[in-house]
């Protein structure tokens, strides 16, 4: 019987305490549960993550995460939690704190502001990464929009040019020749060593994992919060 090599995978959730759009949102109660708990519960139920770590500058957030049964990592550099630093930075520092000999081969970096992502989607993303170990898998949604970009003409005048569609042709979205997607930010999966070396979530090829319509939300404003509450209530009613 051949030895089975288990490729360990961890989930890292950066969750800073200085939310601006909805203050304290990461542990604010959403339909009776801390926002952070929705992501943690789905990851646990997925059953494919060997370790779940919440990294934060907030002792309160880390306390909630600990009560939910996951590991925590306290950020020591306040610059990792300011308004401009991308979550890649604290996620990498968290991973670097794990000794190399026990560091997981794969990592998912997730945002807890996408509470509607389903357990099955996390399983699918994990499976996709193991089948494509040298790419970055990322949460996406099929795009059906026509984008335009302001540009400058040779005469110095500002003109608008199409980005993802031809100027002289308009076709229905069902006839679009190449699939287009929106990057959602809900999760990114990659080989841990490649992520640390590149210091960025994209470093080679990228592969989208499509979310369904009812999973798509990123809570950044009170309007987003209200929409998430509505969707969760609707799901609860449909399941009763």
In a domain, 215, yes or no: yes
In a domain, 77, yes or no: yes
In a domain, 170, yes or no: no
Average per-residue pLDDT for the chain: 90
- Token digits of residue 97: 């704190």
pLDDT in tens, 7-31: 699 999 999 988 888 999 999 999 9
In a domain, 154, yes or no: no
In a domain, 166, yes or no: no
- pLDDT at residue 82 is higher than 80: yes
In a domain, 3, yes or no: no
The b/e string for 96-115 (b: 16+ C-beta within 10 A; e otherwise) is: eebeeeebbbbbbbbbbbbb
Q: Which domain holds residue 80?
A: 9-141+182-238
Task: Work out the percent of the chain whose per-residue pLDDT is above 70.
Answer: 94
pLDDT in tens, 172-191: 766 667 788 999 999 999 99
Range among 2-6, 65-69, 169-173 with highest mean pLDDT value: 65-69
| pLDDT value for 1 | 34
In a domain, 146, yes or no: no
**Dihedral (Cα; 6, 129, 210, 218), 10-degree rounding:** 80
In a domain, 173, yes or no: no
Task: Report the number of distinct structural domains present in the chain.
Answer: 1
| pLDDT value for 240 | 64
Mean pLDDT of the 75-83 span: 85
For residue 82, give the CATH number of its domain. Answer: 3.90.550.10
Binned at pLDDT 50, 70 and 90, residue 51 comes out as very high
């Amino acid at each position: 019987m051949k030895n089975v090599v288990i490729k360990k995978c961890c989930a890292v959730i950066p969750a800073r305490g200085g939310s601006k759009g909805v203050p304290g949102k990461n542990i604010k109660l959403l339909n009776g549960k801390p926002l952070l708990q929705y992501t943690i519960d789905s990851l646990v139920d997925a059953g494919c993550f060997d370790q779940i770590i919440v990294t934060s500058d907030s002792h309160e957030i880390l306390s909630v995460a600990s009560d939910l049964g996951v590991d925590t990592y306290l950020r020591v550099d306040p610059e990792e939690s300011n308004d401009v630093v991308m979550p890649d930075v604290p996620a990498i520092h968290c991973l670097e704190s794990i000794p190399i000999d026990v560091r997981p081969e794969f990592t998912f970096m997730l945002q807890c502001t996408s509470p509607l992502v389903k357990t099955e989607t996390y399983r699918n993303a994990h499976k996709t990464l193991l089948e494509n170990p040298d790419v970055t898998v990322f949460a996406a949604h099929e795009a059906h929009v026509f984008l335009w970009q302001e540009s400058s003409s040779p005469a110095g005048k500002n003109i608008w040019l199409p980005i993802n569609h031809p100027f002289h042709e308009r076709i229905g979205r069902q006839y679009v020749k190449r699939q287009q997607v929106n990057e959602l930010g809900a999760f990114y999966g990659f080989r841990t060593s490649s992520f640390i070396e590149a210091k960025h979530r994209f470093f080679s090829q990228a592969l989208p994992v499509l979310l369904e319509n009812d999973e798509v939300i990123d809570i950044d404003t009170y309007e987003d919060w209200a929409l998430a509450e509505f969707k969760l209530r609707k799901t609860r009613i449909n399941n009763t």
